[in-house]
Amino acid sequence: MSSEIAVRVENLGKCFHIYEKPGDRLKQFLLPQVRRAFGIEAKQYFREFWALKNVSFDIQRGETVGIIGRNGSGKSTLLQLICDTLTPTTGEIETHGRVAALLELGSGFNPEFTGRENVYLNAAVLGLEKKEIDGRLADIIDFADIGQFIDQPVKTYSSGMVVRLAFAVQSQIDPDILIVDEALSVGDAKFQAKCFDRLRKLKDRGTSILLVTHSSEQIVTHCSKAVLLNDGAVLEIGEPRRIVNRYLDVLFGRERKSSSVSSNVPLPKPDRVVPVAYPLSHTDDVFATHPGYNPHEYRWGDGSARILDFFLSTNGEPYPSAIDTGQNLVLAVSVKFEINMVRPILGVTIKTKEGVTVYGVNSETLEVDAFKVLGQAGSVVIPELRFCCRLAPGDYFVSLGLASRIGADVVPHDRRYDAIHLKVSPDSRFHGLVDLEADLRVN
């Protein structure tokens, strides 16, 4: 085995026994022994529930791996198995080095002891000698920044204060493996930023980090790889941006099979449509042939309508390689409806390369009346979006989506996540995320 591997998980499985009635647990404990004594076959009073099935992956030294998945997909169970607070039913786990964990439920603190006493207790459990803890105490207290509360019993702390102290201890003991389970979401934004700064430093000195979060942005920004869990099994392991997009599928129901509207649906009479001349395909999907197309786009949908092509221009220049802040942009797409649908919705989102959404609109939020009469089977329409690029210099990705509504549900027909790469040229006039076009005067 390579010495660079910090964690190896192989065919890991965890089965819980579920008892329908409280008395069944006692029956399960006592009756099989009685039945066996009388030579009668033992009956089972529980049903099995596999919270984790056949999970395998490696974490290299210095790697930050994100675990993402819906509620109940098995994330916490996986972390508890790696931390050794749960025993696996099947498979194996190898960890190399000191493991520190910041779990969502329970910090490992004794509520009756003061914060200071708990620091000693906690660090001792993690294998530190008293002398070592003495040497790090000031840094821990400084990082936690909870003032006089450090000498109060932990039971008087707010949940944010508990997490502050827990993170301070776990991260200041220089662990080889650090496990963080959603706990950071409890802290305020300033503390979270401080924690992520600390995580970066730990990573640089070789700590492997396992981060469970529901935040797509944290996964894309901080992780070098991500694991998507679904119903206790690994759905996919890979590049964070791809995994996050797949997670959104799982969350918003890509698995939907039927199309939302049958071809018999009567459509409103369309208004007269004034054709706009864009060099866009009305028949073939040529989206991927243009400059700016991102070959790592993530595409899905039931195919009842398709986004076939796009055209981007600024100041008359088609498909610009870079855009200046403040320039006007035109984004036109061609959409083909394969079946009749009522009130289709076109959405456009712009995200930073870290996955932070900077701007998102759709034909419903913009109340575009023209969309009320679109959607005839076989027709092609060319929606056009015009906007001013107020973005700061950097790299951005444009996602497009075509959906329609059936009752309260939005049924995705063609979602093209991160399909177009936008590059905004360097600009020395401002810093930050957007140009607010400040005007500075002296009166």
Write out the residues near ligand ATP by the rule CB under 6 A. Answer: 16, 18, 49, 51, 69, 71-77
Distance from the first to the final alpha carbon of the chain: 71
Q: What is the DSSP string of 172-204?
A: HT--SEEEEESGGGGS-HHHHHHHHHHHHHHHH
Among residues 417, 364, 363, 422, which one has the least CA distance to residue 389? 422
* Residue 100 C-beta: closest distance to ligand ATP, Å: 19
Which residue lies nearer to ligand ATP by CB, 77 or 304? 77
* Residue 12 C-beta: closest distance to ligand ATP, Å: 12
Q: What residue type is assigned to position 181 of the chain?
A: D
Which residue lies nearer to ligand ATP by CB, 16 or 252? 16
| Integer Cα distance of 342 and 404 in angstroms | 7
Q: What angle do CA 268, 271, 273 make, to 5 degrees?
A: 130
* Residue 74 C-beta: closest distance to ligand ATP, Å: 4
| Integer Cα distance of 19 and 16 in angstroms | 10
Among residues 301, 253, 244, 254, which one has the least CA distance to residue 69? 244
Which residue lies nearer to ligand ATP by CB, 232 or 401? 232
Among residues 423, 420, 418, which one has the least CA distance to residue 394? 423
Which residue lies nearer to ligand ATP by CB, 106 or 279? 106
Pair of tokens at residue 52: 């984790």
Instruction: Identify the burial level of 424 via C-beta atoms within 10 angstroms of its C-beta, where 0-12 means exposed, 13-18 middle and 19 or more buried.
Output: buried
Which residue lies nearer to ligand ATP by CB, 76 or 171? 76
| Integer Cα distance of 419 and 290 in angstroms | 11
| Integer Cα distance of 194 and 149 in angstroms | 20
* Residue 257 C-beta: closest distance to ligand ATP, Å: 25
Which residue lies nearer to ligand ATP by CB, 119 or 183? 183
* Residue 56 C-beta: closest distance to ligand ATP, Å: 17
Beta strands in 319-390 (DSSP E): 328-337, 344-352, 357-362, 380-381, 384-388
* Residue 370 C-beta: closest distance to ligand ATP, Å: 41
* Residue 25 C-beta: closest distance to ligand ATP, Å: 11
Q: What residue type is assigned to position 3 of the chain?
A: S
* Residue 394 C-beta: closest distance to ligand ATP, Å: 32
Among residues 340, 352, 419, which one has the least CA distance to residue 376? 340
| Integer Cα distance of 294 and 417 in angstroms | 10
Residue 304 C-beta-side C-alpha neighbours within 13 Å: 25
3-state helix/strand/coil string of 72-86: CCCHHHHHHHHCCCC
Which residue lies nearer to ligand ATP by CB, 77 or 259? 77
Contact between 327 and 338 under an 8 Å Cβ cutoff? The reply is: no
Which residue lies nearer to ligand ATP by CB, 154 or 227? 227
Which residue lies nearer to ligand ATP by CB, 25 or 200? 25
* Residue 183 C-beta: closest distance to ligand ATP, Å: 11
* Residue 244 C-beta: closest distance to ligand ATP, Å: 15
Which residue lies nearer to ligand ATP by CB, 86 or 373? 86
